[in-house]
Amino acid sequence: MGKVALITGVTGQDGAYLAEYLLHLGYIVHGLKRRSSMFNTDRIDHIYQDPQTSDRRFILHYGDLTDSLNLTRIIGETQPDEIYNLAAMSHVKVSFDTPEYTANADGIGVLRILEAVRLLNLVKKTRIYQASTSELYGLVQEVPQTESTPFYPRSPYAAAKLYGYWITVNYREAYGMHASNGILFNHESPLRGETFVTRKVTRAVSRIALGLQDKVYMGNLSARRDWGHAKDYVRAMHAILQQDEPSDYVIASGITTSIRDFITMAFAEIGLHVEFNGEGADEQAILAGLDTELFRLKVGDEYLDSALQRRGEVVVGVDPHYFRPTEVDLLIGDARKARTQLGWEPHYDLPALITDMMTNDLKLMKKESYLRAGGYEILNYFE
């Protein structure tokens, strides 16, 4: 029998990659998913197993981090060797609109899991991974950020995660739990939610290249992030729980890039050259030139003429609507502890991440454009 893992947030970006990884390692994986009026399992449909499947190794349970009775029952029934608490209201900007809910799910939710493990007498059996975040560093007190850099949260999300971080440390010290924090810097992928900056950009650049969209509006272009690939980061989560002793680890690439440069790189990936001008809310980028061979290769010959006609047009603008009341200007992590103690090494650098995301989104948007062409008939059907 393989080990048993419970993943909260299994329908999210990291949950999907981690579930796939643990199944590959031979685990039995239980996943907590929220009830939704629409299907929310797109990212894990390829590994879904019907309840009728014999020797099922991937089992979903309805649940919510705000419901302690439900969490306690599921942990009691599944008796996990490892819990990966990935569920969270994870959007920093949205947390300013939903601060109380964010505190409940992202802060108290962590306590509910730790306390359930304690009350169920699973302290010796169950190891816990808490999805902590580089957002804890906020107004950074040190560059680069390490495990000992002081925290300075700058959003309701980060403040809730701060509680989650410290309650994990407290249960480790108070009850001897194998409970660890992964302080993960931004990690992205083709599965990234559509409203996070990297995915918003790779989707928009793909749509602009295919003539489906003229322009994209962004927020603060000068913020800098340390980006890695989610596939690399879920391997680190697993490695953290395989250590003899629980501890907290920074997981990061060690390279920081501005949003502006990420946008430039995403366009360049398909042969489009953009130039930025102006400042603050008046900043914009124009399509300044094309590498026609690269564009043909990556996007397709049939889209070249319309792209050529759009030279000189504005393709990126700024809308202050996307600014945050308090911003995290600079993140750059030092993952030396993870590299030496866990032997963790990322396989993707930023250019490889962008290639992966752009390839996926171009494919997706071509499909959207195809479906859109057939959409008229479908609409008529309902008239």
How many CB atoms sit inside 10 A of residue 255's CB?
15
Cα–Cα nearest to 3, from 24, 19, 26: 26
Binding piece for ligand NAP, criterion CB under 6 A, among 6-14, 290-298, 347-355, 369-377: 6-14
Specify whether 275 is catalytic.
Answer: no
Query: Site map for ligand G4F, 302-331, x if CB under 6 A?
Result: --------------------x-x--xx--x
Contacts 24+ apart (CB under 8 A), 155-158: 155/92, 155/95, 155/96, 155/324, 155/326, 155/328, 156/95, 156/96, 156/98, 156/99, 156/102, 156/103, 157/89, 157/90, 157/91, 157/92, 157/95, 157/102, 157/106, 158/92, 158/133, 158/328
Binding ligand NAP by CB under 6 A: which of 4, 11, 95, 154? Answer: 11
324: partner contacted, choices ligand G4F, ligand NAP, none (Cβ within 5-8 A by kind):
ligand G4F
Binding ligand G4F by CB under 6 A: which of 57, 196, 341, 356? Answer: 196
Residue number with CB closer to ligand G4F (4 or 338): 338
Cα–Cα nearest to 346, from 110, 119, 187, 112: 187
141 near ligand NAP, rule: CB under 6 A: no
13 near ligand NAP, rule: CB under 6 A: yes
Residue number with CB closer to ligand NAP (328 or 358): 328
197: partner contacted, choices ligand G4F, ligand NAP, none (Cβ within 5-8 A by kind):
ligand G4F
Specify whether 149 is catalytic.
Answer: no
Least Cβ distance, residue 151 to ligand G4F (angstroms)? 12
259 near ligand G4F, rule: CB under 6 A: yes
Reported as type and span, the H/E element at residue 86 is: none
89: partner contacted, choices ligand NAP, ligand G4F, none (Cβ within 5-8 A by kind):
ligand NAP
Binding ligand G4F by CB under 6 A: which of 223, 286, 294, 314? Answer: 223
Helices 259-269 & 197-209, crossing angle to 10 degrees? Answer: 30
Which SS3 state, helix, strand or coil, does residue 215 take? coil
Residue number with CB closer to ligand G4F (167 or 197): 197
Output b/e per residue, 344-354; b: 16+ Cβ within 10 A.
bebebebeebb
138 near ligand G4F, rule: CB under 6 A: no
Output b/e per residue, 70-108; b: 16+ Cβ within 10 A.
bbbebbeebebbbbbbbbbbbbbbbbeeebeebbbbbbb
Furthest-apart CA atoms within the chain: distance in Å: 68
Per the structure block, which two tokens stand in for 222? 């000068």
20 near ligand NAP, rule: CB under 6 A: no
How far is residue 155's CA from residue 96's CA, in Å, rounded to a whole number? 7
Check: CB of residue 358 under 8 Å from CB of residue 205: yes
Q: Spot the catalytic one: 133, 168, 202, 256.
A: 133
Query: Site map for ligand NAP, 28-67, x if CB under 6 A?
Result: ----x-x-x---x-----------------------xxx-
Q: Spot the catalytic one: 17, 129, 157, 165.
A: 157
Which SS3 state, helix, strand or coil, does residue 184 take? strand
103 near ligand NAP, rule: CB under 6 A: no
Q: Which residues bind ligand G4F (CB under 6 A)?
A: 90, 92-93, 133-135, 185-186, 195-197, 200, 218-220, 223, 225, 259, 322, 324, 327-328, 331
Q: Which residues are catalytically annotated?
A: 133, 135, 157
Q: Which residues bind ligand NAP (CB under 6 A)?
A: 8-9, 11-15, 32, 34, 36, 40, 64-66, 86-90, 105, 131, 133, 184, 186-187, 193
